[in-house]
Structures are given as C-alpha cells and as structure tokens.
C-alpha cells in the first residue's frame, strides 16, 4: 500500500513540475511577444506570409496575371488566374529538376510554361525576385533587361499539338496530320468531330491572303535584287507564316543549293513534326500571338502548370476551358 501511495505521489509531483514548466514557458513567450516592437511584429508576419505564398506558388498553386491579348477570347489582359502546379509536377527549385506529376499536359489544355527565349540567372535570383515581388505587393520586379524592360519568364498558351503530330498553317488556319494517318485534318473540323472545344480568334480576313502572299513574293524578289525596295509593299497587319511561306518558296526555287533556305521552305510547306515529350502551344488569338510557330515545340519538362480558373476581376470569375 505504501509503494502504491509513493508511486502516486511521485506521479503527481512529476505532473505538477511538467505543467508548471509548460506554464512558465508560455508566460515567457507571452512576455517576449509583448516586449517586441509592433513594427517588428508586423514585418515578421508579412515575411512569414510571403514565404508561405512562395512555397504554395512553387509546389501547389501559382497566381498569374495575364499580360497580353494572345489568349483573348479565353483570357483577357489583366485577368488574375490560379494555376495548378501539382498536376504536371512542380520544380524542386526554379529552373531545376521537376518532381513527377500525376500526368502530362493534354491536347486542348491551357498551360503555363517557361519562355524558351528566357535566359535564366539561376534559382537564387529567381527566388529573390519572387520574394521581393510578393513582399512589395507586386510593385517591384527586379527581373529586367539592360534597357529596364521587364523580362518575360513565363508564357500561357493552349496545347494544340502533342507528340507524334505533324502540324502546318494554311492561311492562318492550323491543320493536323495525326500519327499513322496520311490526310490533313483542319483544326476546326477536328474540334467539330469531338476533339475538344475552345475559341479561335482571327484578325485577318480570308480575302487578305492574296495580298499577303504577294508581299512575301515581293520580299523574296527584293532579297534577290530583282525589284527596287519601294515595290515591297505589304499589308499593315499580316500573317507572318503565310508571308514567309510565299517568300521562302520563291527563295528556295532560286537557290536550291542553299540548304538553310530549302529546309525552311520544306518546314513551312510540310509542317512541324512534334517529337514525343513535347507539345505545340498556340494562343487562341491566332493573329496576335508569338508562340510555337516561332520558338518551336515546348519540352514537357518546361511545362509548369495547368490554368484552372479566373479569380479576378469578379465579373469574369470562373473555370478556364
């Protein structure tokens, strides 16, 4: 009986000591908090919030603002969107290896990817740039070129082609030749047959293409020295792919021995082959978008997220299709 009483007494004393020490720590922490200047407390809260946002942006969901009209019809300039970083797999650190995601980007999805022409200054600079950008409520962006212009790190476009596709543009309209098939399928026909549904905006009328082609021919004759420079007129707004197709066709006929010219002509006439592990991205506003027609198919390792929904402005809140 004495042993039992002694044990209970020891347990009681131990519990009291633990609770007293815990209460003492809490009191010390409270006094420490009270002794801190309110400004320091406020700054610590902001820094903690910024760090949490950076972690969420890097690995879970990224907030993104639409800067141009290249996706007009789907996303307008100034739209604020959430991007799912988990689905394709986030990068361990900016510019470094990616973690495996749940799946790869699919045809028809709106994706965010690293600008192929962007020259990275390393993960440390990127983290610092994002930290300052968030801490200043997006007012300060240190990622600028030598002229002080903001550098474009990320692009948002629609994945219209996947590995195995061959794609070409005819008078501004995309056509597919799918793996194993010999016929060309217009994009709009493919969508009408159940291959997806998304808006395609055009600025150039079909009857403008005769003038665009003639401007391309004139440009080739000018390069060959066959006409004076003042004869090289072209429409103010023109489709560069159609312009260059006509131009390169003339140049390759004149210079069949120049491999670069002939290869460029063949690519424009026969289309782009999309290798496995890459996607072909285009803006929905087809005549106002610098996309894979200029910088080529995008490596899936550089595809960082799937655009989910618009959260601002309020009248445009909703999912992205």
130-134, 136-140, 173-177, 178-182: the lowest-pLDDT one: 136-140
Residue pLDDT, tens place only, 193-213: 988 889 999 989 889 999 899
The answer to whether the beta carbons of residues 306 and 88 sit under 8 Å apart is: yes
Of the pLDDT bands very low, low, confident and very high (cuts 50, 70, 90), residue 277 is very high
In angstroms, the CA 264 to CA 186 distance is 22
| pLDDT at residue 27, rounded to an integer | 63
Q: How does the average pLDDT of the chain come out, rounded?
A: 86
| pLDDT at residue 57, rounded to an integer | 85
Residue 26, burial from CB neighbour count under 10 angstroms (0-12, 13-18, 19+): exposed
| pLDDT at residue 10, rounded to an integer | 67
- Cα 137 from chain centroid (whole Å): 21
Query: Which of 137-141, 204-208, 215-219, 297-301 is most confident?
Result: 297-301
Angle at 81 between CA 140 and CA 147, to 5 degrees: 30
Q: What is the mean pLDDT of residues 273-285?
A: 96
pTM above 0.85, yes or no: no
Of the pLDDT bands very low, low, confident and very high (cuts 50, 70, 90), residue 233 is low
78-87, 92-101, 234-243: the lowest-pLDDT one: 234-243
Distances (CA, A) of 23 to 10, 17, 33: 20, 10, 15
Of the pLDDT bands very low, low, confident and very high (cuts 50, 70, 90), residue 251 is very high
| pLDDT at residue 239, rounded to an integer | 74
Q: DSSP for 28-79?
A: HHHHHHHHS-HHHHHHHHHHHHHHHHHHHHHHTEEEEE--SSTTTTTS-TT-
Residue 166 has pLDDT above 50, yes or no: yes
Reduced to 3 DSSP states, what percent helix, strand and coil does the chain have, rounded to the nearest 5?
45, 20, 35
Residue 36 has pLDDT above 70, yes or no: no
Alpha helices in the chain, H assignment, sequence order: 2-35, 38-59, 123-135, 187-190, 209-223, 240-254, 259-270, 292-295
In angstroms, the CA 102 to CA 97 distance is 16
Q: Residues with Cβ < 8 Å from 70, sequence gap 6 or more?
A: 157, 283, 284, 285, 288, 289, 290, 291
- With a pLDDT cut of 90, the percent of the chain lying above it is 45
Residue 303 has pLDDT above 90, yes or no: yes
In angstroms, the CA 115 to CA 302 distance is 8
Q: What is the mean pLDDT of residues 178-195?
A: 90
The answer to whether the beta carbons of residues 171 and 206 sit under 8 Å apart is: yes
In angstroms, the CA 310 to CA 211 distance is 39
3-state class of 84 per DSSP?
strand
| pLDDT at residue 270, rounded to an integer | 86
11-25, 71-85, 215-229: the lowest-pLDDT one: 11-25
Residue 26 has pLDDT above 80, yes or no: no
| pLDDT at residue 181, rounded to an integer | 83
| pLDDT at residue 240, rounded to an integer | 78
Q: How many residues does the chain have?
A: 321
Residue pLDDT, tens place only, 96-153: 888 999 999 999 999 999 999 898 888 889 888 888 887 776 678 899 988 888 899 9
- Cα 224 from chain centroid (whole Å): 39
| pLDDT at residue 16, rounded to an integer | 62
- Cα 300 from chain centroid (whole Å): 11
Handedness of CA 134, 138, 144, 150 (dihedral sign): positive
| pLDDT at residue 235, rounded to an integer | 46
3-state class of 235 per DSSP?
coil
| pLDDT at residue 28, rounded to an integer | 63
């Amino acid at each position: 009986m004495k042993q039992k009483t002694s044990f209970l007494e020891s347990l009681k004393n131990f519990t009291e000591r633990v609770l007293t020490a815990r209460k003492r720590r809490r009191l010390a922490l409270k006094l420490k908090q009270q002794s801190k200047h309110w400004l320091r407390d406020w700054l610590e809260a902001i820094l903690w919030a910024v760090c949490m946002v950076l972690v969420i942006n890097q690995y879970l969901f990224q907030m993104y603002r639409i800067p141009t009209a290249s996706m007009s019809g789907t996303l307008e300039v100034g739209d604020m969107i959430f991007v799912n970083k988990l689905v394709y797999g986030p990068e361990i650190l900016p510019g470094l290896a990616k973690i495996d995601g749940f799946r790869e980007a699919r045809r028809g999805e709106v994706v965010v990817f690293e600008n192929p022409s962007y020259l990275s200054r390393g993960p440390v600079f990127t983290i610092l740039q994002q930290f300052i950008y968030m801490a200043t409520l997006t007012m300060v962006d240190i990622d600028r070129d030598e002229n002080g212009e903001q550098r474009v790190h990320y692009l948002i476009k629609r994945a219209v082609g996947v590995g195995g596709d061959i794609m070409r543009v005819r008078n501004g309209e995309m056509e597919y030749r799918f793996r194993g098939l010999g016929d060309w399928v217009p994009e709009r026909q493919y969508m009408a047959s159940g291959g997806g549904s998304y808006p395609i905006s055009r600025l150039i009328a079909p009857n403008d293409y005769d003038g665009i082609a003639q401007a391309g021919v004139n440009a080739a004759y000018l390069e060959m020295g066959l006409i004076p420079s003042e004869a090289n007129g072209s429409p103010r707004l023109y489709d560069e792919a159609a312009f260059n197709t006509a131009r390169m066709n003339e140049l390759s006929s004149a210079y069949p021995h120049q491999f670069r010219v002939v290869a460029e002509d063949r690519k424009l006439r026969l289309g782009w082959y999309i290798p496995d592990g890459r996607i072909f991205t285009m803006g929905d506003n087809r005549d106002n978008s610098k996309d894979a027609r200029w910088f080529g198919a995008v490596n899936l390792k550089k595809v960082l997220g799937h655009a989910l929904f618009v959260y601002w402005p309020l009248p445009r809140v909703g999912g992205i299709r």
